[in-house]
Amino acid sequence: MSGEGKVVCVTGASGYIASWLVKLLLDRGYTVHATVRSLDDPKRTEHLLALDGAKERLSSFEANLTVDGSFDAAVNGCVCVFHTASPVIITSVDDPKAELLDPAVKGTLNVLKSAAKVQSLKRVVLTSSIATVMFGVKLPESGGVVDETWFSDPVTCEQAKWWYQVSKIQAEDAAVKFSKENGVDLVVINPGYVIGPLLQPTINFTSDGFMSLIETGKEIFPDGINITVDVRDVATAHILAFEKPEANGRYCVVRDVVRSSEIMMILDKLYPDLGYSERKLLIRKCVEALPYSVSKEKAESLGIEFTPLEISLNDALESLKEKKFLNP
């Protein structure tokens, strides 16, 4: 196994992407230091402890994004740190600085400061977002392509009070600056809207949005366009970003740019007895060509083989049903 004998750290390990990252790392033979906000919360730890290999190669650490030195113990002795921990709040935010900006930016810098102290460290892989790539800018039309050279406009995002986007922009910028100034090898993963099966016992933001789309037809995004990727592909991208020495810079990790109406048609085909097409959905059917795509070229250069949308949608729905979040 490629990870045999190697120790890595995953911050925010109980999260949606991070839980899959921990699972796949254990499957590849890695020893994993998993940080969670509270070791006393079974919802953050039990599903990780139940993973194959966890008994032998998983250690849990309590860490707080806004506490200096909080990640020192977890990062010590690691060859890679996968920093996934960051708040995800898209709806109303009462105090953007306290709820989003400080945990995202200070948390990222705290993790990097801990990582910079570790002589064994080879690389830090940061979970960023497509939110840092294509918000607050004029998107291409008529088949244009978005890629890693695109950057969201922080001023526009702040004026629009898109605080989640602002938090991810500031955190990525702070990480890049710190890594350059302190000689830390940093690779950034920018996933789209993440769907697929859940490992954790709680509902996460993207899965909740997908469930709302299924149940009510409420659009996830105002324009009805979804930039989707399977959670397992995102986790795999993180691992390959560490394992491939030539990995560098940012990686847009997106499988499909697809309209909500197309998602519903696929689900109707997969589950004809559930009558999705007969419900009074708010989605308007649209046959217009999509205005843009997101480049897969750099992500595929890592060796990612993207999961087909139909499989992601099917596995997401089955997982939501199994965990009793969705009762069609």
Tell me: the pLDDT tens digits for 204-239?
Answer: 989 998 888 888 777 888 888 899 999 999 999 999
Which has the closest alpha carbon to 9: 67, 56, 60, 65?
A: 60
> Over the Cα atoms of the chain, what is R_g?
19
Whether the model clears a pTM of 0.75, i.e. scores above it, the answer is yes
Pairing of strands 58-62, 193-195: unpaired
In angstroms, the CA 177 to CA 154 distance is 16
Domain 7-322 in this protein, CATH class: alpha beta
The catalytic site residues sit at 168
The reported pLDDT for the residue numbered 215 is: 80
Mean pLDDT is lowest, of 15-19, 102-106, 251-255, 266-270, for 266-270
- The pLDDT score that the predictor gives to residue 286 is 52
Q: What is the pLDDT of residues 231-251, one digit of tens each?
A: 999 999 999 999 999 999 999
**Is the pLDDT reported for residue 78 higher than 90?**
yes
Q: What pLDDT digit, counting tens, does each position of 98-118 carry?
A: 888 999 999 999 999 999 999
Contact 176, 106 (CB under 8 A): no
Instruction: Tell me the C-alpha to C-alpha distance, in Å, between residue 214 and each of 25, 89, 121, 208, 316.
Output: 32, 21, 43, 10, 11
Strand residues in the chain grouped as ranges (E): 7-11, 31-36, 58-62, 80-83, 123-127, 144-146, 186-191, 193-195, 225-230, 249-253, 256-259, 292-294
**C-alpha to C-alpha distance for 83 and 228, rounded to whole angstroms:** 21
The Cα 142–Cα 121 span in angstroms is 44
